[in-house]
Amino acid sequence: CRMRHISPWVSIRMNDAHDSGARKSPLHSRFWMEHPEYVVVGPNFDYLNYRIKPVRDHMMALIREVCDRYDMDGLELDWNRFPMHFRAGEEIESSKALSEWMVEVREVVRAAEKKWKHPILLMTRVPARPEVSMGRGLDAITWATRGLIDHLVVAPFWATTDFDIPVEQWIELLKGTGVGVTAGLEYRVQASPGGEMLHNTIECRRGAAMGALARGSQGIY
């Protein structure tokens, strides 16, 4: 990648729930399959509960392994695929523990910088709207304020492109932190849940991208 002037990054999905209905699937880690007590059974997907320390420890071990193994320019923690990490009703309370966990993530990345002898940016991806992100227990503003992240991607969750991401609201909330914000697109267009799926044409994608850039997005994800 570097020979071709492309910056190499690694992205980790923090709670991928594909095949969650199948207790034994090649998409699941052994940790997921052997510890059903750590899994929240949701109405649509099952997912690991980050309120439980062994879950946080397991994911920290994965982050350490990735940072030790790969000479990357940046690490993305994708909290938006899937954006469920706590039991319903426990998200706000649990966000504090997650923010403290992010302190350790920052330390791991800084240690990797010393090993690889160059800066490594830390980026997180969260839901497109601040109130939704916080409602999921993902306090990205605190992460930025405390210097725990370098960049923030805000995006919808899968089902449809959001043509009205409030980029300027994020910029205002991040003011003074030095953390930039980038809006993310999706590959579908669907006006309402369960509604007709429309063609996401090149013109639609270009329009969504231009709208986000005009509102201050530093790029397009």
| pLDDT tens digits, one per residue of 128-183 | 999 999 999 999 999 999 999 999 999 999 889 999 999 999 999 999 999 999 99
- Pair of tokens at residue 142: 């605190």
Q: Cβ contacts of residue 141 below 8 Å, gap of 6+?
A: 130, 134, 173, 174
What single string gives the DSSP state of each residue in 130-176? HHHHHHTT--HHHHHHTT--SEEEEE--SSS--TT--HHHHHHHTTT
Beta strands 151-155 and 180-183: pairing type? parallel
| Per-residue model confidence (pLDDT) at position 159 | 84
| Per-residue model confidence (pLDDT) at position 192 | 86
Instruction: For residue 61, report the phi and psi dihedrals to the nearest 5 degrees.
Output: -60, -40
CA-nearest of 135, 127, 136 to 154 is 127
Is 30 a residue whose pLDDT tops 90? yes
C-beta separation of 139 from 91 below 8 A: no
Q: What is the mean pLDDT of residues 33-60?
A: 95
* Distance separating alpha carbons of residues 186 and 83, to the nearest angstrom: 15
Q: Cβ contacts of residue 182 below 8 Å, gap of 6+?
A: 151, 152, 153, 154, 217, 218, 219, 220, 221
Categorize the per-residue pLDDT at 209 as very low, low, confident or very high, splitting at 50, 70 and 90: very high
C-beta separation of 155 from 184 below 8 A: yes
CA end-to-end span of the chain, whole Å? 18
| Per-residue model confidence (pLDDT) at position 207 | 96
Neighbours of 149 (CB within 10 A): 23
Is 199 a residue whose pLDDT tops 90? no
Is 185 a residue whose pLDDT tops 90? yes
Amino acid (1-letter code) at residue 152: L
Categorize the per-residue pLDDT at 122 as very low, low, confident or very high, splitting at 50, 70 and 90: very high
* Distance separating alpha carbons of residues 115 and 59, to the nearest angstrom: 21
Q: Across the chain, what does the average pLDDT equal?
A: 96
| Per-residue model confidence (pLDDT) at position 191 | 86
Q: What is the mean pLDDT of residues 35-39?
A: 95
C-beta separation of 79 from 124 below 8 A: yes
3-state secondary structure of 97: helix
- Altogether, the residues listed in the chain come to a count of 221
C-beta separation of 176 from 141 below 8 A: no
| pTM for the full predicted model | 0.95
| Per-residue model confidence (pLDDT) at position 187 | 87
